[in-house]
Amino acid sequence: MLLRIKGQHGISQIFQLHPLERPPPPIAFDAPFPNLGAPDVRINVYGQDFHLHSTILKLNSKFLSGILDDADRLGVGPVGRFKYDYTFTISDDGSCGIVLTAQVVAETRAGPTAASLHQEFESNKDKSSGGATVNTNHQTSDILQQAKDMARGSTHVFSAIYNKDFAITSVEEILDAIRVANYLQIKPPFSKALDRVFRRRPECTSDGQEIQFADLIPKAPFIMLLVAKHLHNRVLFNDALVHSVATWPSIKKQFDNADAEDMKLVGDLMKITLAGYEKLQAKIISAMQILFKACGETAGVCKHLRACADSLNEKSPVTSNAHYYRQILIRLEKNLDDHQKHQNCAFKNAKRAVEGLLKSNLKIGDKAFHNRTRAGVGAYQRKFLCAEIDDKDLPLNVNEQS
Ligand SMILES: [Zn+2]
């Protein structure tokens, strides 16, 4: 089992997993259509073997198509039952690579230094750490963790091109998968496959929590906005924007000390989020005006606003008062019967305005998820979910998606 990283001076080092660490069983993908036969490609991603079909890889990635064609041209012979055998690599700067496994095996024989570093890590694992070994341990465990993460990311990407279902239960997972998809140039099929991930029912994680993709977006809305832009994914962009706008003042603080390089990456997304926030403010002001007007026309509305006054938080930005408007809506709904038959009814206008403010524009998640994501209630007590964006304002080419 091989792990390969680029050393400080650009010299490749190869890590061998400790003999006690058993390699996981290979992940073999079934042919998605008949006559494709058995997998003819093996790709080792940090100890995890994937068995794949060259036809499927070529169909989904120009980059892999080129690599496989090169192998044919150079006449690289089959290894065991696989016609093509590759090892995925990652360097210190995080960039990925893919090399012929035969080449990696040859290098392993030449340099055992990295393998001994790994053994040192293993033998120190149970001892109390101290002194100079700490850094080594830390570095090696980081690399091992990174290896596992990349293997998981690769599983998602390969599942995407085989139309197999997969779940994503952490923000890190999607970032790892994007790294692989980016390098292998499988981004459009991966983005398309996310539609299935968005609709999946909640998964039970190892710590017994139920989680689905929709739960991840409010955890890191701005990162998800970046992910959506990178993948040209319209649906993800929409939901990430709704959550980014809902948490805008605090998100903005994350970029107070951003350098020019970072700003180049996030600048346009910040502008879009700010525009969404301003639209939300305008929507709130407009709803307030309708409520004031209704107060002047019917004592009923006035009475309900007074009754909800305790829910109004004057110290926070107006965009955090969703709970207040939810309380108003509950009261207006309860008393709607008296006004059902009225034409041009101020009471009904007031209700409509508050409803518009509290509606959710989120698209990702199953029915149960949408039932518990309501502005002004529970986790969204202080958040509005009604931000929206026109296609013409998107910083992505929606047509590129497929
Ligand atoms: Zn009325």
Per-residue model confidence as pLDDT tens digits over 266-276: 889 999 999 99
Q: Which residues pair with 98 in a beta bridge?
A: 88
Q: Ligand 1 centroid to 196 CA: how many Å?
A: 45
Q: Where are the domains of the chain?
A: 2-193, 201-402
Distance 325 CA to ligand 1 centre (A): 19
Q: Using one digit for the tens of pLDDT, what is the confidence trace for 18-57?
A: 555 677 899 999 998 888 889 999 999 888 899 999 999 9
Give me ligand 1 centre to Cα 53, in Å. Answer: 67
> Residue 358 C-alpha to ligand 1 middle, in angstroms?
21
Is the pLDDT assigned to residue 280 strictly greater than 80? yes
Ligand 1 center–CA 324 separation, angstroms: 22
Q: Is the pLDDT of residue 122 over 90?
A: no
Ligand 1 centroid – CA 306 distance (Å):
18
Query: Does residue 101 carry a pLDDT above 50?
Result: yes
What is the pLDDT, as a whole number, of residue 205?
82
Better-predicted residue by pLDDT, 114 or 399? 399
CA 312 / ligand 1 centre spacing (Å):
25
Statement: residue 400 has pLDDT above 90? no
**Pairing assessment for the beta strands 96-100 and 84-90 based on DSSP bridges:** antiparallel
- Checking if the pLDDT of 125 tops 70, the result is no
Q: Give the global pTM.
A: 0.84
Greater pLDDT, 252 or 341:
341
> What spacing in Å lies between the alpha carbon of 309 and ligand 1's midpoint?
22
CA of 195 to the centre of ligand 1 (A): 44
Other C-beta atoms closer than 10 Å to the C-beta of 100 total 18
C-alpha dist (Å) from residue 210 to 152, 216, 330: 19, 12, 29
pLDDT at residue number 38 = 92
C-alpha 352 to ligand 1 mean position (Å) = 12
Answer whether 156's CB lies under 8 Å from 143's CB: no
The whole-angstrom separation of Cα 53 and Cα 58 is: 9
CA of 141 to the centre of ligand 1 (A): 68
